[in-house]
């Protein structure tokens, strides 16, 4: 009986250090992002019945944003939305839809600088928005770099009734990175 108690005690003394060792060495190391900017969670994607309604509402929302700084907020929100949408669609290999979403994100991102230039000309303080734009650009580039590693250089899309169309996906992603790279 005494021997069984000692054996149990010895096993317990080995389990705790072994668990600590395993937890310490097997837990993943932290990965730090280039930017603390947070992108939105993907909402409805193309193909969803509600997507068209959601897009119309989003487009009508732009009339709610008055002034240059508000337009900046709207354009950034849309650039983020379409980038997340493109990333998700690229992951699902929906390349045609992803390319369209990426182009939408590019369009809205390009409008951001003009909003800030117009606001500065009106004498508004834009330092906070400039910092936000820089962080957003870093986050967008981070996401685009991850997309770039996963998409093929080109993709031939064939419609049922038409000839194939070559999509230069790597070129499109590189273009999006260039749009977001400034200074």
Q: What is the pLDDT of residues 122-149, one digit of tens each?
A: 999 999 999 999 999 999 999 999 999 8
Q: Do residues 122 and 23 lie in contact, with contact meaning Cβ atoms separated by under 8 Å?
A: no
The phi and psi torsions of 153 (rounded to 5 degrees) equal -60, -50
The phi and psi torsions of 155 (rounded to 5 degrees) equal -145, 130
pTM for the model stands at 0.77
CA nearest neighbour of 151 among 137, 168, 127: 168
Residue 109 pLDDT > 90, yes or no? yes
**% of the chain beyond a pLDDT of 90:** 55
CA nearest neighbour of 156 among 173, 145, 169, 144: 169
Joined together, the tokens standing for residue 106 give: 């590019």
Mean of pLDDT over the chain = 85
pLDDT, position 2: 67
What mean pLDDT do residues 82-106 have? 95
Domain boundaries, the chain: 51-180
């Amino acid at each position: 009986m005494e021997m069984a108690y000692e054996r149990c005690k010895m096993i317990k003394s080995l389990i705790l250090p072994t668990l600590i060792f395993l937890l310490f060495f097997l837990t993943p190391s932290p990965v730090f992002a280039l930017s603390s900017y947070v992108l939105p969670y993907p909402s409805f994607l193309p193909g969803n019945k509600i997507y068209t309604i959601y897009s119309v509402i989003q487009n009508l929302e732009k009339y709610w944003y008055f002034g240059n700084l508000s337009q900046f907020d709207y354009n950034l929100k849309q650039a983020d939305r379409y980038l997340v949408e493109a990333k998700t669609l690229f992951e699902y290999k929906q390349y045609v839809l992803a390319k369209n979403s990426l182009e939408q994100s590019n369009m809205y991102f390009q409008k951001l600088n003009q909003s800030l230039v117009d606001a500065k000309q009106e004498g508004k303080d834009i330092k906070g928005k400039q910092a936000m734009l820089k962080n957003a650009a870093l986050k967008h580039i981070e996401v685009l770099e991850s997309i770039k590693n996963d998409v093929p250089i080109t993709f031939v899309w064939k419609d049922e009734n038409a000839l194939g169309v070559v999509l230069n996906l790597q070129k499109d992603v590189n273009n999006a990175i260039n749009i977001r790279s400034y200074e």
